[in-house]
Structure 1
Amino acid sequence: MRPVALVPEIRLLLADDPTLLWARLEAAEGRRLQPPFWASAWSGGQALARYVLDHPALVAGRTVLDVASGSGLVAIAAARAGAASVLANDIDPYATAAIRANAAANGVGGVTCLPHDLLDGDGEGADVILAGDGLYEEGLAVRVLAFLTRQAARGALVLAGDPGRGHVPDGLMDRVATYDRPHLGPADDHRERRPAVFRARRP
């Protein structure tokens, strides 16, 4: 367990070398597995978790869905900020295990895991939709942004962490925070990027 750089209030089980962990898991399973995104604290998730903890009124007493939850960092932040309930969604079964372990280690209850693809759905009717780690790769970002736009259109508060990879089109969301910490997360994000938080516009 180690504290998260931008969110030291939360401690996570993280891998020193996710690539090595991936190889070991594949060898143990005897099959190809998804990369262990849940074993890192990505910069978009760190930014969104920081924002939620600094603005607890956004989630306090409300139902929250955290999509592409990974390690569960953003879900844990929402629970600590007083959310009535938190659904942590990730399609990787290892992520589900990591979310449960990390939530327990941080002493938060009320986090339920949903281990299936929700991006074509209605957001489980949640009051607040959080997406800390869904904008890293272009193809996934297109689906996540379409999902977030639909949730905002039905009236949900929608917040997304952005690692600065250029997948947030102009005019779709409003930047509400930027963090001057360009070297957060794994090596993939160790460039001169400053993670940000965006809020989806409602029609």
Structure 2
Amino acid sequence: MKVETTLLPVPLAPEIRLHLADRGVGLFDLAGGEFRSDEPPPFWAFVWAGGQALARYLLDHPAEVAGKSVHDLATGSGVAAIAAALAGAATTAATDLDPAAAAAAQRNAAANGVTLSTQLPTKTDLLLAGDVFYSPAVAPTMTGTLRAARRENAEVLVGDPGRGYFPERLFEKVAEYVVPVPAALEETETLVTGVWRMR
């Protein structure tokens, strides 16, 4: 799927620039107005509220990532992974089920002068997940993945704007931001978004 993008600053973390779709475009506008199971919509062409909140938090709290092996799961545009790399992570991996998202994360990393691996890391000190609790089908799998990482002693940070399927009882909030978002994408211009640490 060909998606027109422009290199733009991230609203909540303008230190980072990403190749993004126009603010007046919605997710399914780019998919021809429909969902096709054989080709995922281009989630990577947008900077979602959860990823923006994680990015801002990591840039403001570099001790969270300094010298650590960081894995950004379901990376999308790669914004949280890029923030981790800029904040001093020793290594940063950005993975996604959609190969187009992994390619977008690499392109965005290059635009910010950092390097990301798109391979699953063998060691993770900090697992990041932005905006991953968006559906009842995805939430249980994501919860299981994050809990497994926590059992392996990885720290887990999640950015979530109250999507409705977030298992809040498993987390404690460490920060909250009012995140600018495209109205064409979210039907509002800001979302209150938490950064949460898994217990």
Q: What range is the shorter-chain TM-score in?
A: 0.7 to 0.9
For residues 168 and 138 of structure 1, what CA distance do their matches in structure 2 show?
A: 10
1:88 aligns to what?
Answer: 94
Counterparts of 1:17-32 in structure 2 under 5 Å?
Answer: 17=25, 18-23=27-32, 32=38
Structure 2 residue 58 is matched with structure 1 residue 49 = no
> Deviations 1:68-109 (Å, cap 9, x if unpaired)?
000111110000011011110111111121111100011112
Question: How many correspondences in the alignment?
Answer: 187
Give 1:23's aligned amino acid. Answer: G
| Percent identity of equivalent pairs | 48
Contact 1:43/1:189 (<8 A) preserved: no
- The normalised TM-score by structure 1 is 0.84
For residues 98 and 150 of structure 1, what CA distance do their matches in structure 2 show?
A: 27
- The normalised TM-score by structure 2 is 0.86
Give 2:130's aligned amino acid. Answer: G
2:17 aligns to what?
Answer: 11
Considering fraction of residues, name the structure with more strand.
2
2:70 aligns to what?
Answer: 64
Give 1:104's aligned amino acid. Answer: A
Give 2:128's aligned amino acid. Answer: L
2:181 aligns to what?
Answer: 184
> Deviations 1:100-127 (Å, cap 9, x if unpaired)?
1100011112x1013xxx7xxxx73301
Question: Which structure 1 residue ranges, 4+ long, deviate > 6 Å from structure 2?
Answer: none
SS at match of 1:142: helix
Q: Go from structure 1 to structure 2 and tell me whether the alpha carbon gap of 1:32 and 1:168 turns closer, same or farther (over 3 Å shift).
A: closer
SS at match of 2:14: coil
Give 1:90's aligned amino acid. Answer: D
| RMSD of aligned Cα (Å) | 2.2
2:129 aligns to what?
Answer: 131
Q: Go from structure 1 to structure 2 and tell me whether the alpha carbon gap of 1:54 and 1:190 turns closer, same or farther (over 3 Å shift).
A: farther
Contact 1:59/1:83 (<8 A) preserved: yes
For residues 127 and 197 of structure 2, what CA distance do their matches in structure 1 show?
A: 10
Considering fraction of residues, name the structure with more helix.
1
